[in-house]
Chains A and B, each alone.
Chain A
Amino acid sequence: MALEITAARPDPALLDLPWSVPLEEWPEELLAAFPRGISRHVVRFVRLSGRVLAIKEIKTELARREYEMLRNLERLDLPCVEPFAIVSGRVSQDGQPLDGCLITRHLQFSLPYRALYSQSLRAGTASRLIDALAVLLVRLHLAGFWWGDVSLSNTLFRRDAGAFAAYLVDAETGELHHELTDGQREHDLEIARVNIAGELMDLEAGGLLQEDRDPVEVSERIMTRYRELWGALTDTEIVDTGERWRVDDRIRRLNALGFDVGELAMTTDIDGSTIQIQPKVVDAGHHSRRLLRLTGIDARENQARRLLNDLDSYRAALQRQGDSEESVAFDWLREVYEPLVRSVPPELRRKLEPAEFFHELLEHRWYMSEREQRDIPLSEVKEDYLRNVLPTKPDEQAVVGVDTVEMPVIVWDD
């Protein structure tokens, strides 16, 4: 059988990797990080043509299935790792067939939850991770995706203006349906809850959990946050015909949660005294789309919200409410955002993404102003931040780690 590599954008350098060697035995000089932990499949991170790739050794049919699934999730615009290639037809040097490989691109500036816990943490990190996971799960469920293995380890997190944004990493158990039943959603939620509690208990047992709250109690948050958000996005609301402003109000509430309403169903009852409203199509990314349209900056939802707020303050401060939003945004970008972001010395750019750096500056301005009891211009804040804060942060552009601590699905080898 010949080696076969399937990829949307194939990179010939893939052919140079030692496919005839079991992944577990790949030479260390190829690896971007050392494996640790117990993993269900062998996973390795490799540097290739200037990027980091995650390679998972798995049966070819499963690799193909997961690759297709990730492609589908990408097409549905859902946050997940980017599938890169499938390798099949591998044969070892002594002629034994080897399992296939699924290759995904490493998500820049993403962090596994365990990496976060090995840093010194702000209080409430677990809650913020769970909130991000709840948003991800709701978005996946709205699209008809049943995950089947929801956990912190199967998720990557990116910083998002003090909060986190979550990305699906492992779609192996997932199924895409036209629509999910309540039972399927509940089952995913139960899996999430048990896995999160287990993961937090494990951090506790390893002395890594600095919070003194009970993991079981913390894990309940996934249920409440998920249900709140699901309700806000899908519940039918009945309003009196005289209160039609409440239709707009519903849309505004959804926007505030970061969602755009693509379709809203309105029906009146027989005598016309009440209206039923129910969102039918909602799209995440309300603020990030608006920011992208105005400035071309591609940021996450909370970052975008933060940047847009700053844009609004800029407009108010210059008393330019009469000017078009676009022209103000153009000037803000040129005069405020870009000079600040460009001033980060190259050796510090691996620590934070530009939008997160900007958010941090705004935060730092607040702290400095508190301390010094005066308004401090951003240029001064920047000097202080670049000198005293940013150098102490870890490099987060390419944090990788084999992080799953799972088991082969039934292997009794003894």
Chain B
Amino acid sequence: MATVKYDHATRIYPGSEVPAVDKLNIEIHDGEFLVVVGPSGCGKSTALRMLAGLEEVNEGRIWIGDRDVTNLSPKDRDVAMVFQNYALYPHMTVADNMGFALKIAGVPKDEIRKRVLEAAKILDLEPYLERKPKALSGGQRQRVAMGRAIVRSPQVFLMDEPLSNLDAKLRVQTRTQIASLQRRLGVTTVYVTHDQVEAMTMGDRIALLDRGILQQVASPREMYDKPANLFVAGFIGSPAMNLVALPVSEGGADFGSHKVPIEREALERAGKTVIVGVRPEDVEVRQENDGLEIEVDVVEELGADAYVYGRPVDERIVLEGSEEGGERPFIARVDGRRVPNKGDRIFVFPKAEHLHVFHKESGERLF
């Protein structure tokens, strides 16, 4: 087991001027489960492959424990890419299927037996060690394949979108199992995904990348409660945070007719306009004139609560992240027993204690 450190690690593909990964700095703790997340093309897979030794590091260094692995070949790094296509061999016993790669690596027989037994205990495969794979269920076979990675006892597990080929139900099931297995093994793990829900539910910490640049690395809670910038605010959370550009006035910003108080120190850095963010569950809804007036377009009933999708009545106010031809709706979560109707007009404003304020130009968090 070991720590992993990206130290200004940069990858520039031949023929490209823009780095695919740009001066990445992350320190991953021993035993930590770090999820690297971001939209397609953000450099997350490249970052993982740099650690695996599959992509060159053009600038900066990568450390595993106290070893500088920047120029080591993949097999000398003591990392395991898990969930690659593992074959199971029909004539070999489960024990041999799990341990044969160690034989290739020249590990003595007694040591192989010991490690296979340990892995089998963790994976609940002990009673099946002398059987052939054919006698196992699909899930047990899969665990044998997992066992192949475990017996190598690598310093780091690497997983690149391992769930992307599964259907939604299996994905939910499997991600819990991977996370709990990782915790039992305590092996430092770097896991790449494009799915922010996977990131939020699995990782000890999340690193969010956009266009090769690290946006924030933090625990899921911190990422959600204190996004470092507009990009993080818009990416983490489903449904997404409402982000509205508002004029700055004395002591705050005007959320329609509702004054949103903003600290003086933040306001001083802000300029004339700020972007105010509010998550759907942090929206206060009023019937009387207090806040931004919204016309309700769609109501999604979920039982205990409901999501209201609408748009500002004042057409000059457009939500951030809207694209040509596709305006982003304002989304509010409301009590399932007090749901407005389609076509109703309601007034909304953010709860003061869950307010996010960002700089209009730089996108940095102000408050």
Query: Does the CB pair B86–A406 fall under 8 Å?
Result: yes
Query: Does the CB pair A178–B15 fall under 8 Å?
Result: yes
List residues of B (35-84) whose CB comes within 8 Å of A's CBs. 52-56, 73-75, 83-84
A345 at interface (Cβ–Cβ under 8 A)? no
What residue of chain B has the Cβ atom nearest to residue A182's Cβ?
A: B73
Q: Which of B96-104, B247-255, B301-309 contacts A (4 or more CB under 8 A)?
A: B96-104
B108 at interface (Cβ–Cβ under 8 A)? no
Query: Does the CB pair B92–A181 fall under 8 Å?
Result: no
Query: In whole Å, how far is A379's beta carbon from the nearest beta carbon of chain B?
Result: 46
Query: Does the CB pair B162–A405 fall under 8 Å?
Result: no
Q: A183-B54, A187-B53 are in contact. Are A410 and B166 (CB under 8 A)?
A: yes
In the assembly, what is the distance between CA of A62 and CA of B85, in Å? Answer: 14
Query: In whole Å, how far is B114's beta carbon from the nearest beta carbon of chain A?
Result: 20
B325 at interface (Cβ–Cβ under 8 A)? no
Query: Does the CB pair A181–B55 fall under 8 Å?
Result: yes
Query: In whole Å, how far is A360's beta carbon from the nearest beta carbon of chain B?
Result: 32
Query: Does the CB pair B139–A413 fall under 8 Å?
Result: yes
B127 at interface (Cβ–Cβ under 8 A)? no
With a cutoff of 8 Å between Cβ atoms, the chain B residues found around residue A206 in the complex are: 90-91
Which of A179, A216, A405: most chain B Cβ within 10 A? Answer: A405
Query: Does the CB pair B74–A187 fall under 8 Å?
Result: yes
Q: A183-B53, A184-B54, A193-B104 are in contact. Are A406 and B163 (CB under 8 A)?
A: no
List residues of A (194-241) whose CB comes within 8 Å of B's CBs. 194-195, 197-199, 201-203, 205-206, 216, 219
Which of A178, A182, A183, A202: most chain B Cβ within 10 A? Answer: A183
Query: In whole Å, how far is A143's beta carbon from the nearest beta carbon of chain B?
Result: 16
Query: In whole Å, how far is A59's beta carbon from the nearest beta carbon of chain B?
Result: 6
Query: Does the CB pair B165–A187 fall under 8 Å?
Result: no
A249 at interface (Cβ–Cβ under 8 A)? no
Query: In whole Å, how far is A64's beta carbon from the nearest beta carbon of chain B?
Result: 13
Query: Does the CB pair A409–B162 fall under 8 Å?
Result: yes
In the assembly, what is the distance between CA of A119 and CA of B10, in Å? Answer: 53
A190 at interface (Cβ–Cβ under 8 A)? yes
Query: In whole Å, how far is B277's beta carbon from the nearest beta carbon of chain A?
Result: 33
B203 at interface (Cβ–Cβ under 8 A)? no
B168 at interface (Cβ–Cβ under 8 A)? no
B182 at interface (Cβ–Cβ under 8 A)? no
With a cutoff of 8 Å between Cβ atoms, the chain A residues found around residue B163 in the complex are: 410
What residue of chain B has the Cβ atom nearest to residue A206's Cβ?
A: B91
In the assembly, what is the distance between CA of A197 and CA of B276, in Å? Answer: 60
Query: Does the CB pair A203–B74 fall under 8 Å?
Result: no
Q: A186-B75, A410-B83 are in contact. Are A37 and B90 (CB under 8 A)?
A: yes
Query: Does the CB pair A202–B92 fall under 8 Å?
Result: yes
Query: Does the CB pair A183–B89 fall under 8 Å?
Result: no
Query: In whole Å, how far is A311's beta carbon from the nearest beta carbon of chain B?
Result: 43
List residues of A (160-184) whose CB comes within 8 Å of B's CBs. 172-173, 178-179, 181-184
| B55 touches which of A38, A183, A194, A406 (Cβ 8 Å) | A183
Q: A178-B14, A187-B52, A411-B166 are in contact. Are A202 and B89 (CB under 8 A)?
A: yes
What residue of chain B has the Cβ atom nearest to residue A177's Cβ?
A: B13
In the assembly, what is the distance between CA of A151 and CA of B138, in Å? Answer: 22
Query: Does the CB pair B87–A153 fall under 8 Å?
Result: yes
Query: Does the CB pair A190–B101 fall under 8 Å?
Result: no
A79 at interface (Cβ–Cβ under 8 A)? no
Query: In whole Å, how far is A188's beta carbon from the nearest beta carbon of chain B?
Result: 10
With a cutoff of 8 Å between Cβ atoms, the chain A residues found around residue B362 in the complex are: none
A89 at interface (Cβ–Cβ under 8 A)? no
With a cutoff of 8 Å between Cβ atoms, the chain B residues found around residue A198 in the complex are: 87, 89, 92, 100-101
B133 at interface (Cβ–Cβ under 8 A)? yes
A27 at interface (Cβ–Cβ under 8 A)? no
A149 at interface (Cβ–Cβ under 8 A)? yes
Query: In whole Å, how far is A187's beta carbon from the nearest beta carbon of chain B?
Result: 5
What residue of chain B has the Cβ atom nearest to residue A61's Cβ?
A: B165
Interface string of A395-414 (1 = CB under 8 A from B): 00000000011111111111
With a cutoff of 8 Å between Cβ atoms, the chain B residues found around residue A409 in the complex are: 83, 85, 162, 165
A340 at interface (Cβ–Cβ under 8 A)? no
List residues of A (377-407) whose CB comes within 8 Å of B's CBs. 404-407
Query: In whole Å, how far is A179's beta carbon from the nearest beta carbon of chain B?
Result: 7
With a cutoff of 8 Å between Cβ atoms, the chain B residues found around residue A38 in the complex are: 88, 90, 133-134, 141
Query: In whole Å, how far is B56's beta carbon from the nearest beta carbon of chain A?
Result: 5
A40 at interface (Cβ–Cβ under 8 A)? yes
A191 at interface (Cβ–Cβ under 8 A)? yes
B238 at interface (Cβ–Cβ under 8 A)? no
Query: Does the CB pair A411–B142 fall under 8 Å?
Result: yes
| B173 touches which of A186, A195, A412 (Cβ 8 Å) | A412
Query: Does the CB pair B86–A407 fall under 8 Å?
Result: yes
A148 at interface (Cβ–Cβ under 8 A)? yes
Query: Does the CB pair B55–A411 fall under 8 Å?
Result: no
In the assembly, what is the distance between CA of A102 and CA of B91, in Å? Answer: 29
Which of A178, A197, A202: most chain B Cβ within 10 A? Answer: A202
In the assembly, what is the distance between CA of A153 and CA of B90, in Å? Answer: 13
List residues of B (118-163) whose CB comes within 8 Å of A's CBs. 133-134, 137-145, 162-163
Query: Does the CB pair B162–A408 fall under 8 Å?
Result: no
In the assembly, what is the distance between CA of A347 and CA of B14, in Å? Answer: 56
With a cutoff of 8 Å between Cβ atoms, the chain A residues found around residue B73 in the complex are: 182-183, 186
With a cutoff of 8 Å between Cβ atoms, the chain A residues found around residue B96 in the complex are: 201, 205
Q: A410-B162, A410-B163 are in contact. Are A186 and B74 (CB under 8 A)?
A: yes
With a cutoff of 8 Å between Cβ atoms, the chain A residues found around residue B86 in the complex are: 406-407
Q: A194-B104, A407-B87 are in contact. Are A412 and B92 (CB under 8 A)?
A: no
What residue of chain B has the Cβ atom nearest to residue A406's Cβ?
A: B87
Q: A38-B141, A190-B74, A409-B162 are in contact. Are A197 and B104 (CB under 8 A)?
A: yes
In the assembly, what is the distance between CA of A408 and CA of B138, in Å? Answer: 8
In the assembly, what is the distance between CA of A318 and CA of B55, in Å? Answer: 58
With a cutoff of 8 Å between Cβ atoms, the chain A residues found around residue B87 in the complex are: 151, 153, 195, 198-199, 404-407
In the assembly, what is the distance between CA of A186 and CA of B72, in Å? Answer: 11
With a cutoff of 8 Å between Cβ atoms, the chain A residues found around residue B143 in the complex are: 412
Query: Does the CB pair B145–A407 fall under 8 Å?
Result: yes
In the assembly, what is the distance between CA of A197 and CA of B87, in Å? Answer: 12
What residue of chain A has the Cβ atom nearest to residue B56's Cβ?
A: A181
Query: Does the CB pair A190–B75 fall under 8 Å?
Result: yes
Q: A38-B134, A178-B15, A414-B140 are in contact. Are A59 and B104 (CB under 8 A)?
A: no
Query: Does the CB pair B84–A191 fall under 8 Å?
Result: yes
Query: Does the CB pair B142–A408 fall under 8 Å?
Result: yes
Which of B89, B92, B177: most chain A Cβ within 10 A? Answer: B89
Q: Can you list 29 A-B contacts with CB-CB less than 8 angstroms, sorted by A residue number?
A: A148-B84, A172-B85, A178-B13, A178-B14, A179-B14, A181-B55, A181-B56, A183-B55, A183-B73, A183-B74, A187-B53, A187-B74, A190-B74, A190-B75, A194-B104, A198-B87, A203-B91, A205-B89, A404-B87, A407-B85, A407-B145, A409-B162, A410-B166, A411-B142, A412-B173, A413-B137, A413-B139, A414-B137, A414-B138
Nearest 8 pairs of A and B residues by beta carbon: A206-B91, A202-B89, A205-B91, A414-B139, A183-B53, A412-B139, A413-B139, A413-B138
